């Protein structure tokens, strides 16, 4: 792969540097204080796995803009597709004057999602919008109201998806009242609940049966690998048991693959790891190389439940974003990126897993493919250690490595590298992390 920017970290000023400091002042005057930022510097350009700030400092990007630039930032194939599409039309509107790229992308997505049955798709702009529409579609199809979501879930920041999201601070605090008929069920979190998949599923199904009633449930919505909530992989058997329960009770099973989908875990969709077949899949983040695009994909008879005009949006399926998505999918297919995700997992595990026995602050290393995390605790009682996470992430930033955090208790460091990150860069960034954890343990 060829890159514009040297794929190396480089610190040439204090962090933040003088130009970033100046931008911070202007930001404080003009940008709403409601917007937060992880890095204290301002990025001028990004390429592959590198972010370069306005002072010339370079950071290794272990976040990919929250799992978005999975094909690498400014991937040349995606850039070319965007340039060509924009030269042909910057905006087309499916509800007024339809166009081919909308069909191309929907067809491609129906081919990539699990399940051998007729499928259809519909396009939107953001992950939350896809979730909102998956719920609309499931309700229209079933004629039922109740939506089941889970502990540690994150589904977005709009009103309905706030109700579906678990964590109050920062996502919900003071922003209510929230949408009704959303019920929270227990998740499988093997590191903390010690239950097998079937045991955890039995607990969840009992809750649904007793507190909601299966016949009232329109949809079960779950992240097959829980993202913001802590990169939690449910115990084996949990997801298949829920799918079976949904199928038996006429409930639409929605896999929220906004973060875990589109090659991130080494397969097109994370659902494939346990061989589950969702009725509907929501996709966004890694779908279009950075362009705002999302989709709901699923069984044709469910996707067709709504009257024409019931689902849509002004910008939904923008032709430039569609072209970016088709090029992104081509890059996943042609450039060995799913294999790269598996190689990244091997490297990360080989570096981090030895720490579990070495240091009692390292609780667990988990995830799939290039969606991995380390959970930090205070010791054998597994008390969350968000303070250590903060220290380690800040020390890494000062040395030119950007790590994102997650977890209901803020004690998880997550790794979402672009799949084009080289092994050297991966090892270099993780070396900084390991040194800092050891020093502060």
| Cβ-based neighbours of 49, under 8 Å, separated by 6 or more | 7, 60, 61, 72, 73, 417, 418, 420, 421, 422, 425
User: Is 260 or 348 the residue whose CB approaches ligand PLP more closely?
Assistant: 260
- Min dist CB 404 to ligand PLP, Å, is 12
Residues of the shown chain interacting with ligand PLP in the complex, contacts defined by CB under 6 A: 126-128, 131, 154-156, 223, 227-228, 256, 258-259, 284
- Least Å distance between CB 290 and ligand PLP? 12
Closer to ligand PLP by Cβ: residue 223 or 364: 223
Q: In this complex, which beta carbon is closest to ligand PLP, that of residue 99 or of residue 183?
A: 183
Q: Are 386 and 393 in contact (CB under 8 A)?
A: no
How does 51-71 read in b/e, with b if 16+ C-beta sit within 10 Å? Answer: bbbbbebbbbbbbbbbbbbbb
Least distance to ligand PLP, CB of residue 1, Å: 26
User: CB of 225: closest distance to ligand PLP in angstroms?
Assistant: 9
As a whole number of angstroms, the distance between CA 363 and CA 157 comes to 30
Nearer to ligand PLP, 141 or 285 (CB): 285
Query: What is the closest distance, in whole angstroms, from the C-beta atom of residue 155 to ligand PLP in the complex?
Result: 5
Q: In angstroms, what is the minimal distance from the CB of 156 to ligand PLP?
A: 4
Closer residue to ligand PLP (CB): 61 or 223: 223
Q: Which of 251, 256, 246 is nearest to 225 (CA)?
A: 256
What pairs with residue 371 in β-bridges?
368
Contacts of 63 (CB under 8 A, 6+ apart): 38, 402, 403, 404, 414, 416
Residue 381 CB-density burial (10 A; 0-12 exposed, 13-18 middle, 19+ buried): exposed
Minimum CB distance to ligand PLP, residue 346 (Å): 24
By Cβ distance, which residue is nearest to ligand PLP? 127
Determine the Cα–Cα distance for residues 115 and 118; give it in Å rounded to an integer: 9
In contact, 314 and 130? CB cutoff 8 Å: no
For 308, counting Cβ atoms within 10 Å of its Cβ (0-12 exposed, 13-18 middle, 19+ buried), the class is exposed
Residue (274 or 304) nearer to ligand PLP, CB? 274
Burial of 306 (0-12, 13-18, 19+ CB in 10 A): middle
Closer by beta carbon to ligand PLP, 133 or else 411: 133
């Amino acid at each position: 792969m060829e890159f514009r920017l040297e794929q190396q970290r480089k610190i040439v000023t204090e962090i933040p540097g003088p130009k970033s400091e100046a931008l911070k002042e202007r930001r404080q005057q003009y940008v709403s204080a409601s917007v937060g930022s992880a890095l204290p510097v301002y990025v001028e350009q990004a390429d592959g796995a590198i972010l370069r700030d306005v002072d010339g400092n370079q950071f290794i990007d272990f976040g990919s803009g929250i799992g978005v630039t999975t094909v690498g930032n400014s991937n040349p194939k995606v850039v070319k597709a965007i340039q060509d599409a924009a030269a042909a039309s910057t905006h087309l509107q499916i509800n007024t004057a339809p166009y081919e790229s909308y069909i191309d992308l929907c067809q491609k997505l129906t081919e990539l999602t699990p399940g051998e049955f007729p499928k259809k798709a519909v396009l939107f702009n953001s992950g939350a919008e896809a979730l909102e529409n998956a719920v609309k579609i499931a309700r229209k199809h079933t004629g039922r109201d109740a939506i089941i979501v889970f502990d540690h879930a994150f589904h977005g920041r709009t009103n309905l998806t706030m109700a579906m999201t678990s964590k109050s601070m920062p996502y919900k605090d003071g922003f209510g009242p929230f949408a009704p008929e959303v019920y929270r069920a227990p998740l499988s979190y093997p590191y903390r609940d010690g239950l097998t998949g079937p045991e955890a599923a039995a607990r969840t199904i009992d809750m649904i049966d007793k507190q909601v009633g299966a016949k009232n449930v329109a949809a079960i919505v779950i992240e097959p690998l829980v993202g913001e909530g802590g990169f939690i992989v449910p115990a084996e058997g949990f997801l298949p048991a829920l799918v079976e329960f949904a199928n038996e009770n006429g409930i639409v099973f929605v896999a929220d693959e906004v973060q875990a989908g589109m090659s991130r875990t080494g397969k097109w969709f994370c659902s494939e790891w346990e061989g589950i077949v969702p009725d509907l899949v929501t996709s966004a983040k890694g779908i279009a190389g950075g362009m705002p695009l999302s989709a709901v994909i699923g069984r044709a008879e469910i996707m067709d439940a709504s009257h024409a005009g019931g689902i849509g949006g002004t910008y939904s399926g923008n032709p430039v974003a569609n072209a970016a998505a088709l090029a992104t999918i081509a890059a996943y297919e042609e450039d060995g990126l799913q294999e790269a995700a598996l190689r990244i997992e091997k490297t990360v595990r080989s570096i981090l897993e030895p720490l579990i026995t070495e240091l009692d602050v390292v609780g667990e290393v988990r995830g799939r493919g290039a969606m991995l995390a380390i959970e930090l605790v205070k010791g054998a009682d597994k008390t969350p250690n968000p303070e250590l996470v903060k220290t380690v992430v800040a020390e890494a930033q000062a040395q030119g490595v950007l790590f994102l955090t997650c977890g209901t208790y803020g004690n998880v460091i997550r790794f979402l590298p672009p799949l084009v990150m080289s092994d050297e860069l991966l090892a270099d960034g993780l070396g900084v992390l390991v040194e800092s954890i050891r020093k502060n343990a």
